[in-house]
Amino acid sequence: MYDLDGKIKESSFYRNGERDSLYTSWLFGDKVSEQWYEDGELHGLAKWYYPDGKVETAGNYDMGDRVGYFLYYAPDGQLRFRLNYRAGVVVSYSFLGPDSAFVPEIPFVNGSGNVKAYFKNGKLSADFSFKNGFYDGEYTLYFTNGNTAFKTGYKNTMTQGKTLEYYPNGKQMTEEFYVDDEIDGEAVYYYPDGKRRMSAEMKLGKFHGWVVMYDTNGKIRSKLHLYNDDIIE
């Protein structure tokens, strides 16, 4: 599957109509994730990446359930925190202290609690909550320099409302609005210098309206009109 720019977007294998083996996704030509499936279920190692190829998140699944440690990294490679799962239920979290050793596991009560994690330099790395095993409420990640990296909101583990992502220099990278885990409304993506890279009108996760792509000088290089992901002009 390819994106509107002709670059590969998804690659997957299927067996008996179910996703099986390796699934890989890309955005703007950069690899976003690699996940292993078995009989349509996530099974084995899953990784998500930053545009430069560094690992953003890594962990294992057992037939759709998260198991063991999921590790979350900042773009410079420093660990933000780790979550510990048992049979799909989050049970505790930890992060690296100033001595580069993990602090004692901080438990959740019945899958509920707040995560407040720190980098080794003492700066806040993450601040969010779980409720009954699901992400719930405001979710914020930080860079090692203290700047906000990512901000969104969850309700029953589904993304809801405005989602903002930033570059380490403080400039905005993305602005999206979500309804029940699907992008809905105008989504805007930026280059590191703040110029627009792409704007897209979305409806529940699909292109639905005008999609405009810009070059690094800010000039429009393509403009497409889509309806439910299909190009109409």
| Structure tokens that stand for 66 in this block | 């998260």
Helix (H), strand (E) at residue 231: strand 230-231
- Asked if residue 186 has pLDDT above 80, the reply is yes
Q: Closest Cα to residue 88, out of 134, 137, 57?
A: 134
Model confidence band, residue 233 (pLDDT cutoffs 50, 70, 90): low
**What average pLDDT does the structure give for the chain?**
94
Mean pLDDT, rounded, for 54-61: 97
Residues 8, 26 contacting (CB under 8 angstroms): yes
**b/e for 68-83, b at 16 or more Cβ within 10 A?**
ebbbbbbeeeebbbbb
Mean pLDDT for 182-207 is 95
- Give per-residue pLDDT as tens, 82-126: 999 999 999 999 999 999 999 999 999 999 999 999 999 999 999
Confidence of residue 2 (pLDDT cuts 50, 70, 90): low
Q: Per residue in 143-173, pLDDT tens?
A: 999 999 999 999 878 999 999 999 999 999 9
Widest distance between CA atoms in the chain: 58
